[in-house]
Structures are given as structure tokens and as C-alpha cells.
Structure 1
Amino acid sequence: MMRRAPHKPTLGYFKWALIVTLLGLALGGWVGWNMTGTMAGMATAFFICAVLAVLEISLSFDNAIVNANKLKAMTPIWQKRFLTWGIVVAVFGMRIIFPLAIVAVAARIGPLEALQLAATQPEAYARIMQSAHLPIAAFGGTFLMMVGLTYFFNHEKDIHWIVFLEKAMSHFATIKGVEISLVLILVLIFSSLLGGEEATTFIYSAIYGLLTFLLVEVVGGLLDASQKALSEAARGGLGAFIYLEVLDASFSFDGVIGAFALTQNLFIIAIGLGIGAMYVRSMTIMLVENATLAHYRYLEHGAFYAILILSVIMYVQTLMHIPEVVTGLGGAALIGISLWSSIRYNKREQVTPRDEKIRVGES
């Protein structure tokens, strides 16, 4: 369990995020000036960076809740590693290296050539990224769908928000492989709607997403089991760390692809989404240290429902365009409703944050 620091004001958790925001927006303005040499160009780049940051936060708030849920079971050293190394991977790996890798593979060019293409021919770079949207959506959607379904298809889960639905899923969790069966049924339905070569691409990409989830689960379990055998201090770490990194990557797919609707400039995209990633990190720390998930009992449920909806939206986006603002607002609305339900429950049962912290400390 992460050690709880003395009570810290909410703004204190966002100190580094605010610093990165100021530096990032200034850098974005400089990129705009350097590209156009005009105040209008600088203001446009500045504005796009701000919009992308908001987009990333809205798309990834559920990611912060899921991260906090996993982090609370990790050892302090691995919590710290995820919150430091993880942000480096999230910002540089997913916002810069990942798009470059996609373009390099799709265009069959080297990484340096892909970087040069992004800098000198952003329109061509964006076209290649957009052409890779279908396999990315199938892969990421499948992985996220497995994450969401695994949470609800759990026979040990005893707290239910949407009772009739979650009780049924908990009951059917005893059937081996029920989550995988549901995912495969959806894969077959959407591939039949696509048809032709696109259907084949969708199926292969979805299978890779499913295999990645299963491999991460297996490898994570083996790594954590071996660490437990080595020492008590090593518990809880590497397997959960890998799981969270892959989960972060899956959440990032939608934001990275969607960002090209606003700008084709890789560097502005990296700055804007990077700022948003810092806020997600800050929210994660706040949720863990304040035991927020323990006090608001349905908040996790809202986040995992948002993940399921995001995964379905990623599938639907292979057939039609859905604005990223719809995706972000949909997830935020679900989380907001789950928070409201939690507050209503606490008032009805007269549960205080102190009661919940005592209960968590005893368990």
C-alpha cells in the first residue's frame, strides 16, 4: 500500500502537471512561431496544444482510476517506478516513438526517415497514421474490452453498481473463458460488417490484442510469483508494472489517432498529449494517497464501464467516424454518475471518509 502523506491540498498534487503545462504551452507556441513566423501561427499552435491536453485528460480519466486500483496493491518501490518510469514511457514512448514506429512499418521506411517525414511532410505522415487506424482500433479495442470484462466477470466481486447486470456477470464468471467468447463473437460480427481485406486485418489485429492481454496476464503472474518466492520486499511489482504499461498504451491509441484531426504536426501532438498525461499521473497519485476508490465505492465501476464503452467505440470507429469529444464526454459522464451514486450511498449509509480509511487499513 502506498504510504499516505500528511493531508495535502488537491492543488498540491498537480504542481508538476501545472509546471509542465506552462513549459509545454510555451514550447508549443515556439514551435508555431518557428513553423510560420507569425503571431497567428504561434497562437494557433498554443491553442491546439491546450485542446489536445484537455482531450487527453477527458479520454484518460478512467485510465487514472484503473491505474490507482492496480497501484494500491503494488509495493511502494514499484508504485514509484510506475509513476516515474511510466510517465517517460507514456509521454515519449506512446506520443512520439509509437506514431513514428507505425509510420515506419506502414511506409516501410526507417525510424529516422519517419521522423524526417513528420517534420517536413506532416500531411503525408498523417495520411499514413490514419491508414493504420483500423488495425490499431481492433488491437486496442480488444485489449481494453478484455480489461473491462475481466473486472465484471469475477465471481468474487461482491460490490455491484448496476445490480441486475453485474450480479449476472458475476454468476456467469464461473464459466471458463466466458469473456474471451464474448470478445470473439464481437470480433466476428464487426469483421462481417467490414468484409474483404479489411475484415482479415481486423480479425488478425483483434487476435493479437487478445493474445497480448492473455500473455501479459500470464507473464505478469509468473513474474510476480517468482518475486514473491525471492523476497517479501519484491512483491507486487514487475508483472503489474507491465500490465499497466500495456494498458496505458491501449488507452493512448485513441488519443494519438484522434489528435491528427486537429493537427498533422507530430511535435505539437506530443506536447499537447504529454501535458494531458501529466495530469493523469497526478490524478492517479491523488486517488491512491487519499484512498478515494475506497470511499467512493462505485467509482471503479464507472471507470470500467467507460473502458467497455471505449472499446466498443474503437470497434465502431472501424466502420464510421466518431468524434473524440463524444468518446471523452461519454467516459467522463459515466464516471460522474458513478461518483454521484457513491455520494448518495455514503449519505444513505452515513459512511464517512474516515470510516472507509479505517476499514481499508484493517483489510
Structure 2
Amino acid sequence: MILHYFKWAFIVTAVGLVLGAWLGWQSSGTLAGVGAAFFICAVLAVLEISLSFDNAIVNANKLKDMTPVWQHRFLTWGIVIAVFGMRIVFPLLIVVIAAGIGPIEAIKLAATRPEEYARIMNEAHLPIAAFGGTFLMMVGLTYFFDQEKDVHWIQWLESKMARFATIKGIEVAFVLALILGFSRLLPAEETDTFVYASIYGLLTFLCVEVVGGLLDASEETMSAAAKGGLGAFLYLEVLDASFSFDGVIGAFALTQNLFIIAIGLGIGAMYVRSMTVMLVEKGTLAEYRYLEHGAFYAILILSVVMYFQTLIHIPEVITGLGGAALIGISLWSSIRYNKREQAAA
């Protein structure tokens, strides 16, 4: 039963919404404040789910090759890191670095001067978008630039990308060219920040790939069943962090209360985890052959949107709906393919 997979998500939703309503009462002392906090938590949860549905598919793709032990570790430790680390510690860390203050002072700033906290977060949007956009772009391109990939959704495009994958480093060259191109569109005072943050995003992806490969290779020498262990876990955690950037920054457009943001995005993260578990256990990726393609196209679009957000404001709801639409089309294409195969059998 599908609802079984969302049991904990439902529990966290109930607890989170009650806690959000309580925060609304504490901050305003009115029923209107309670309703506003309750509503914002719900909207943030929906925003997080819409932005991260493709994250669930990519997680499931990686998890299906991991041992049960590491699957369990990612789905337990990973959710703690995702909710506590990315939705609470990450925004605090940005303020600590940007404002040059200590962690305790950052928490006090979030609690007593939320407007100043939000201002610092928004000012940090440029390097965050550049870093996260670059990392996600490498994730998407690496999937398509794969000479062993033999299932293509958009045949004319993906077959060419698979063929060009024999050229070593082609995806890195493509991303570097795009970084240089976008840097020319930015004001001169922002160019260095964008380029440095983008390069760090690229280096992070390459380091995660190298370290992940070394870790998993060393584990395989100890145990043949250790495929997809610590290295894959590390990769998924960094990937989840990159997906979180857009939601965390966008949340400040709805509220400046860090704790309400953490509750709303945390609720959404629980649903993403539940979807990931369902996709792995039900074998949905194998059943719908183009679903994975849609998720990686959504990742590429998200990465480009994050680049454009350094130039203009793009509402997060558009990003979320765009990704959901692509995944929906890929699901529809998969169902059509399955029907054709059944008719031909």
C-alpha cells in the first residue's frame, strides 16, 4: 500500500504544523499570526516537494545499487543531515561567514532581528546559486554524457551526447564555457564572485566523484558486497545539499523566521525521503524507463535557472512546476512505451 511509505511523513507533518502554529502564537499572540505561520509551513513543504521530486528519483537511482546497510544509513542519517544540517545549520553558516559573527550570535540574529538575517541570506544568493547550479549541471551532464547509456528518451539528442562521451572531459569543458559566458552578463563587481563560486562547485563535484570512487574501491577490496557504500553516501549528501540551496533561499521570500522555514522545508524533506523509499522498494524506475531521464532533464533545467537567478529573479514556483512537468511527461512517455510493448507481445 502506497500510503504505508508516507507514514512518518504524515506524522512529521502533523507535529511540524502544530509547532509552526505555536511559533506563530508566540511571535504574534493572535489567531491571525497562528494561521499565517500554519499556512507558510504548508506552502514551504509543498515548495520543497515540488523542487525536490527529481532529487527523490536520482536518490533512488543511486540507492538501488547500494547495499541494504548503506541504504538504511542514508535513509536514517541522511534525513537527519538533510533536515537539521541543510535547513538549519546551512542558513546559519552562511550568516556566520557573510557577517563575520559566531554561531550563537547568528542564532540570536535569526531570533531577534529576522529582517537583518534575511538580508544577509539574500546577499549571499549569488555565490550559492553559482555553486549549486554548477554542481547540479555536472550531475545532469554526467548522466547524459555516458557512452554505456543505451536507453534514450529524446533519441536525436541523447544518442549524440552518448556518442560524444568518448571525448574525455567534454562535460567539464561545456560547464567551464558556460561559466565564462554567464560571467560576461554580470556586473563587473559580481563577476569574480560568480566565477570563483562556480569553480568551487565544479571542484566539489569532481572531488566527490574521486573520493567516492576511492572509498568504494577500498571497501570492495575488503568486501565484494560493499558496492555503493560510503562514496555513494557522500555523493548523495552533497547532491541533496545542492538541491536544498534553491528552496532555502527562496523560503525567505515567504517568511524571515528561520525556525518556520526549517519546519516547512523539513516537512517537505520527509516526503522526498518517503518517495525515495517507495521508488527503490517498488522498482518504479525499472518499470517506467523514461522517468529517470525526466528527472535528469529537470536537474539540468534547475541548474540553468539557478544561473539565470544571478541575473533576474525567477519565482521558485516556476522552477518547481517546470521540473514536475518534465517528470510528468517522462512518466506519460514511459506508460505509452509499456503499452506499445504489451501490444506487440
Does residue 141 of structure 2 align to residue 157 of structure 1? Answer: no
CA positional deviation for 1:231: 1.5
**10, 16, 21: which one pairs with 1:18?**
10
Q: What's 2:245 paired with?
A: 253
Map residues 48-67 of structure 1 onto 2, 5 A cutoff: 48-67=40-59
Does residue 97 of structure 2 align to residue 108 of structure 1? Answer: no
Q: What's 2:32 paired with?
A: 40
CA positional deviation for 1:107: 0.2
- Aligned residue identity for 1:90: A
Which SS does the other structure have where 1:234 is aligned?
Answer: coil
Q: What's 1:123 paired with?
A: 115
CA positional deviation for 1:197: 2.2
Which SS does the other structure have where 2:11 is aligned?
Answer: helix
**263, 266, 276: which one pairs with 1:284?**
276
Which SS does the other structure have where 1:264 is aligned?
Answer: coil
Q: TM-score, normalised by structure 2?
A: 0.99
Give the distance between the partners of 2:7 and 2:224, measured in 1 at CA.
Answer: 33
Give ranges in structure 1 of 5+ residues lacking alignment.
1-8, 356-363
Does residue 296 of structure 2 align to residue 272 of structure 1? Answer: no
**266, 271, 288: which one pairs with 1:296?**
288
Q: What's 1:309 paired with?
A: 301
**309, 312, 320: which one pairs with 1:320?**
312
Contact 2:65–2:227 (CA under 8 A) maintained in structure 1: no
Give the distance between the partners of 2:333 and 2:227, measured in 1 at CA.
Answer: 34
Deviation per CA, 1:90-125: give whole Å up to 9, x if none: 000000000000000000000110000000000000
Give the distance between the partners of 1:342 and 1:106, measured in 2 at CA.
Answer: 46
Which SS does the other structure have where 2:184 is aligned?
Answer: helix
- Aligned residue identity for 1:115: I
CA positional deviation for 1:220: 0.2
Q: What's 1:335 paired with?
A: 327
CA positional deviation for 1:236: 2.0
CA positional deviation for 1:148: 0.1
Q: What's 1:232 paired with?
A: 224
> Percent of counterpart pairs with the same letter?
78
**124, 145, 153: which one pairs with 2:137?**
145
Give the distance between the partners of 1:46 and 1:258, measured in 2 at CA.
Answer: 18
**How many pairs are equivalent?**
345
Deviation per CA, 1:316-354: give whole Å up to 9, x if none: 000000000000000000000000000000000018xxx
Give ranges in structure 2 of 5+ residues lacking alignment.
none
Deviation per CA, 1:284-320: give whole Å up to 9, x if none: 0000000000000000000000000000000000000
CA positional deviation for 1:81: 0.2
CA positional deviation for 1:67: 0.0
Contact 2:83–2:265 (CA under 8 A) maintained in structure 1: yes
Map residues 198-237 of structure 1 onto 2, 5 A cutoff: 198-237=190-229
**227, 235, 240: which one pairs with 1:243?**
235
- Aligned residue identity for 1:173: A
CA positional deviation for 1:196: 1.2
Give the ranges of 4+ consecutive aligned residues of structure 1 lying more than 4 Å apart after TM superposition.
none
- Aligned residue identity for 1:265: N
- Aligned residue identity for 1:228: E
Deviation per CA, 1:26-74: give whole Å up to 9, x if none: 0000000000000000010000000000000000000000000000000
Q: TM-score, normalised by structure 1?
A: 0.94
Q: What's 2:62 paired with?
A: 70
Give the distance between the partners of 2:79 and 2:190, measured in 1 at CA.
Answer: 34
**RMSD value, Cα:** 1.1
CA positional deviation for 1:235: 3.2
Q: What's 1:349 paired with?
A: 341
Give the distance between the partners of 2:72 and 2:320, measured in 1 at CA.
Answer: 28
Which SS does the other structure have where 2:185 is aligned?
Answer: helix
Deviation per CA, 1:136-173: give whole Å up to 9, x if none: 00000000000000000000000000000000100100
Give the distance between the partners of 1:162 and 1:112, measured in 2 at CA.
Answer: 51
Q: What's 2:71 paired with?
A: 79
Give the distance between the partners of 2:341 and 2:150, measured in 1 at CA.
Answer: 17
Give the distance between the partners of 1:343 and 1:234, measured in 2 at CA.
Answer: 34
- Aligned residue identity for 2:83: V
CA positional deviation for 1:232: 2.8
**2, 19, 25: which one pairs with 1:27?**
19
Which SS does the other structure have where 2:289 is aligned?
Answer: coil
Give the distance between the partners of 1:197 and 1:154, measured in 2 at CA.
Answer: 38
